[in-house]
Chain A
Amino acid sequence: MNIALVNVKAPFVRGGAEYLIDSLAAKIVERGHRIVKIELPFNWNTPQNVLSHMLACRLIRLDPETIDLVIAIKFPAYYVPFANKKLWLVHQLRQVYELWGTNYQIFPSTPEGEGARAMVIAADNLYLREAKAIYTNSRIVAGRLKRFNDIDADGVLYPPLLNPELFGPGEFGDYFFYPSRMTTIKRQELAIEAMRHVRSNFKLVLAGKADHDAYDKHLRYKIAHYGLEDRVKLLGFISDEEKARLMSNAYAALYIPFDEDSYGYVTLEAFHSHKPVITLIDSGGTDEVIEDGLNGLILQPSAEALAEGMERLWADRAATRAMGEAAFETLDRHGIRWEHVLENLLGE
């Protein structure tokens, strides 16, 4: 089959969704199919841009003579018209759904903003239903789809890692590791704040590319301002190999985004590395695979609670090791495998 993977892309930003597409592409090619990745630019910084990009996606033309199947994963890429279209839904425009009424909403709380929001929701209700099948990457995304659009997903396909063999167990070193795209919603700042309350001598290592320079500068300022230069390291972008090495030898991992749809690749990377993961009660889909006390900790979303949790793990090495083993076993327990994903998406 000729398969088109359709996604949206904010130039100069690469995150979990892009990694998912690359992984899916690689696995589909391994199965003997041909893949093309179509990445449409997306700019959501004004309501007008959101709407015009939606319209643009509706007018993109893909030739059914040369493409057999379209798989789309994000808003508004799934608006691209194609008869044989399936969705592996990672993101709707959350800012008009569960993030409406929070600091993350992007449309103003005015009648104009509400009008734009209504257009997005109406379009989702219409065009999501064009798909032959809709899978989601987590129960939480499936739940939102039902709650807001009254659509039943055809199933949950948990995204596996592309190269799990890169990750494996190592030492339990003296640092907690948090590799992720640097942006406010991932809350690296909260992790830095937590280190102010830590008395033990472990460190925090943050890695990842900042979405924009201002956030990176802000974090560095905070580290310097609190005198944490020796305790908190900001590595910026690192290679996959370096990330795997750091994860293997971390004491534990952090994954503390705000209200994320899925458990995140960081969680999988940690599990493959036999490390427990600390997350927060408002991190969203992380609790689909992280169970408090079993393979990680689920804490209150405050700097003090995060510090206390890290200290607790640090104080009990044996328990931490046991959690790490349980973390690895979680992968099989939830069927996080590519075979399962491809059976459903490709119908094979």
Chain B
Amino acid sequence: MKIIIATTFMPFRHEAHPGLAEPLADVLREQGHEVDIVRLPFDADSESQLEQIFAFRCFDLTTGSGNIFDRLIAIGWAAGALRHPAKSIWLTTSSDQAAFTMSGESHRPAERGVREAKRLAAASDGIASALRTLGMDEVSLLYPPLTDAAAFVPKPAQDHLVIKLPQDSPDRTALILETLQETRMRGMFVVRPEERASLCDTIQAAGMTDLAQPLNVTDRAAVGEAVSTAFAVLHLDSSTPYSGDVPLGALRARKPLLLAEDTLLRSVFPASAILTVKLASHAFTETLKGLRDDRQRCEQLGAAGARFEKNMTWEQVAKRLLA
């Protein structure tokens, strides 16, 4: 089959669903399909969102140059607005969820796209629930596998933590800095380039430059190495169900994954593979200290996590989206 994978991005800012198109394309090609990726610019912050979505509706992705394009896999709600009679849509981010929970008629552009889809998949219960409130019941849960599995390898743990925080979350940042102080562990904060400066200011103001440092999410090799050698990975990003490879990479690297009690990943990852931590002072410290004292527990978590991650393959994704 000829399959088009469509996604959106904001030029020089970020890709809406970074890295999901390529591994999906690779596995589809291995299965004998021809795949092309279409990336459309989409300024999600603009007041002209509706016109941009309308522009997407103008594109014809059913045929071209004498070829029939058999399937369209759209990643994200905006790409999901593209027209195609055999369309699958995969929704993974908080923006995707927000597109369906807007008040009034504002969700209509997103709704139009998904109503046309032959298959709908969502990375979290939250997104699936949002779709169900609009009467779309047939949504399968599909969390993205690792986009760069090779970067995450079980290695001996060193004494640092890898941390994922939501953007603009001073309370959580403060909580984690407190944890680093208490445990005297180094913390490597995975951030987008545009968040780096603000984080550095916060670390400097707290006088913790010896214990805390930013880590560019775009530096995949460095992120992979940091996770692979971490003592544990802390994930406090409750804003989005999917935010990249770090959580799943931690499981692949057999590292304990600590999730804040309100993160959406808690409904995706099995309880045996994670530790849920209250968002309260000293809670992370106590948990980490407990892990330090209980290596067996670390190994159990690592094994459960690795078993879970092993079953999350791009072949599965391809199968679900083309089923």
Contacts and interface: CB of A to CB of B under 8 A. Distances in A.
A12 B34 contact: yes
Interface of B: 2, 4, 10-13, 34, 36, 38-41, 43, 46, 48, 51-52, 54-56, 58-61, 63-67, 69
A11 B69 CA distance: 9
Contacts, number: 100
Contacts of A36: 11-12
A39 B59 CA distance: 12
Interface in A14-44: 34, 36, 38-43
Interface string A227-262: 000000000000000000000000000000000000
B58 A55 contact: yes
B195 to A, nearest CB: 16
A13 interface: yes
Contacts of B54: 59
Contacts of A38: 11, 39, 41
Nearest to B36: A11
27 contacts: A11-B4, A11-B64, A12-B2, A12-B36, A12-B67, A12-B69, A36-B11, A38-B11, A41-B38, A41-B60, A45-B63, A45-B64, A53-B59, A55-B58, A56-B59, A59-B48, A59-B51, A59-B52, A60-B52, A60-B55, A61-B41, A61-B43, A61-B46, A63-B10, A66-B11, A183-B65, A211-B67
A149 interface: no
Contacts of B11: 2, 4, 36, 38, 62-63, 66-67
A214 interface: yes
A56 B66 contact: no
A220 interface: no
Decide if the interface of chain B is mainly helix, strand, loop or mixed.
mixed
Please name the 5 residue pairs, one residue from A and one from B, whose CB atoms are nearest each other, closest first. A212-B66, A56-B58, A59-B55, A56-B55, A52-B58
Interface of A: 2, 4, 9-13, 34, 36, 38-43, 45, 49, 52-53, 55-63, 66-67, 183, 211-212, 214-215
Contacts of A34: 12
B60 A52 contact: yes
Nearest to A70: B11
Given A36-B11, A61-B51, A56 B56 contact: yes
Contacts of A58: 55
B41 A53 contact: no
A45 B40 CA distance: 21
A40 B12 contact: no
B33 to A, nearest CB: 11
A49 to B, nearest CB: 5
A11 B2 CA distance: 9
Contact of B66 (A53, A61, A66, A211): A211
